[in-house]
Chains A and B, each alone.
Chain A
Amino acid sequence: MRVRAILVALLLAGDAAAEEAVLVAVASNFAHTATQLAARFEEQTGTAVRLSSGSTGKLYAQIVNGAPYDVFLAADAARPAILEHSGRVVPGSRRTYAIGRLVIYSIRADDCLAALRDPHGGHIAIANPVTAPYGAAARQYLERAGLWDGVSARAVYGENIAQTLQFASTGNAVVALVARSQLHTRFVPESRCSLEIPAAMHDPVEQQVVLLDADNPPAGAFVEFLRSATARRIIEQAGYEVAR
């Protein structure tokens, strides 16, 4: 009898926990930081956060096709805006949670700018400007700096910002234009040169969040948590900027 009571209690508890969990779709570039944020949120509230990471485009397609995510942490502002216009998000929930900065990174060159300018300097890796927000920002910077014509002939395009860094960290590309936050992660080989690109040289890479499920209060609490001082500090320490 007592065993049955315990089993019933466990079942109910498990059920309640599943209902209260927050399911978050997160852009791959932010997945590591999101794990830290989720851990802190769980500490504070006792609510479990489950993360699914992928490219913003793929997660967007999943959401449009009915994926059961409560929160979407995108790598850009475009996809959250489309979701908002099509009425798939909780009105008023779309906000910038992190702003990305671009850096030039190389394990082969001593002078990052010289390597960008050298017409015989080998491949330059940037994220695909058509599909990846950091790629679009990289192209914008190169155009404003008058370097695009020289670079585009030697450019190789990463499918996403992670692959772009990998092209350079394996030495296959001489330099890569990547996100500053990536250089804060483990396993990135020591750079021989790295150079931060001034924020004024490209439109800000705004990463936006939207709340997808209005009926799950902990999900709203998680989105709200992202604005807290604690969350902002975690995001800044990961190499992003946060909106003032």
Chain B
Amino acid sequence: MNVYSPLWLSAQLAFVTTLILLGIATPIAWWLSQSASRLKAVAQAVVALPIVLPPTVLGFYLLILLGPDGAIGSWWVRFTGDALTFSFAGLVIASCVYSLPFAVQPLQNAFEGLPRAYLERAWTLGASRWDAFFSVAVPLSLRGFVSAAVLSFAHTLGEFGVVLMVGGNIPGETRVVSIAIYDHVETLDYAAAHRLSLILIGFAFVVLLAMFAINQRWSRR
């Protein structure tokens, strides 16, 4: 366990979370972008909740839901024999909830910006809905997918409060980089705290810079 291993753990967590989120967020964002249903506003509000709620609210309910007696936790125990709290799998679920709006919103924006005529032309040419989605909508929304992936990854990397409440600070399993920094500050080991913090600042800046630069070039086209 060296000082950098929490960084690696955070990167793994962010990567897995981003992959899963792209899978979950794409159909949600697509439905939101196409729907005229009255439920749309409700769904949008639900998706955006994690932006507004303090991590303590998410952490509190996740601790109960994921626990061995909780709705999700007890089901998981039956299948795997392990509890979800204090585990990497539990953190993945928590992160998916926590970062969901950061995946859905860029995708929804991208889908809403698609010229409707392109899709209709694909349908009239005989493409199935799936076919039209994958060969027309997805390539045209690439920018949305990149934004969604980058924001989900970065936001999960910066997660602290939720992990603090459901993680249990286990080295190599749930001690992510933000928790490690917190511990270093608590124990007055400012050198280690600086090292990890500066890496995070550098990484966050480079990622955001890259995203804004790409966006700029795209919009010039």
B69 contacts chain A at the CB level, 8 A cutoff: yes
Q: B67, A171: Cβ atoms under 8 Å?
A: yes
Task: Please state if B169 and A156 are interface contacts (CB–CB under 8 Å).
Answer: yes
B83 at the interface (CB under 8 A from A): yes
Question: With an 8 A cutoff between CB atoms, is B204 at the interface?
Answer: no
Could you tell me the distance in whole angstroms from the C-beta of A158 to the nearest C-beta in chain B?
8
A95 within 8 A of partner (CB):
no
The answer to whether A172 touches B63, judged by C-beta atoms less than 8 angstroms apart, is yes
Convert A109-135 into 0s and 1s, putting 1 for each residue whose CB lies closer than 8 angstroms to a CB of B. Answer: 000000000000011010010110000
Question: Which residue of A57, A122, A156 is within 8 Å of B187 (Cβ)?
Answer: A57
Q: How far is the CA of A64 from the CA of B205 in the complex (A)?
A: 31
| Distance in angstroms between the alpha carbons of A57 and B85 in the assembled complex | 26
A159 in complex: contacting residue of B63, B164, B188, CB < 8 Å: B164
* Chain B residues near A130 (CB-CB < 8 A): 183, 187
User: Closest CB of chain A to B201's CB: distance in Å?
Assistant: 20
Q: Which residues of A contact B188 (CB under 8 A)?
A: 57, 61
Q: Is B169 touching A172 in the complex (CB atoms < 8 A)? A: no
Taking the closest CB of chain A, its distance from the CB of B174, in whole angstroms, is 8
Whether the Cβ atoms of A128 and B67 lie closer than 8 Å is no
Known: A171-B67, A171-B69, A172-B68. A156 touches B170 (CB 8 A): yes
Q: What are 26 inter-chain pairs, A to B, with CB distance below 8 A?
A: A57-B185, A57-B186, A61-B185, A61-B188, A122-B68, A123-B86, A128-B169, A128-B183, A131-B183, A155-B170, A156-B86, A156-B169, A157-B168, A157-B169, A157-B170, A158-B168, A158-B169, A159-B169, A163-B165, A167-B168, A170-B63, A170-B67, A171-B67, A172-B68, A172-B85, A172-B86
Interface residues of A (CB under 8 A from B): 55, 57-58, 61, 122-123, 125, 128, 130-131, 155-159, 163, 167, 170-173
Using a CB–CB cutoff of 8 Å, the interface residues on chain B facing chain A are: 63-64, 67-69, 83, 85-86, 164-165, 168-170, 182-183, 185-188
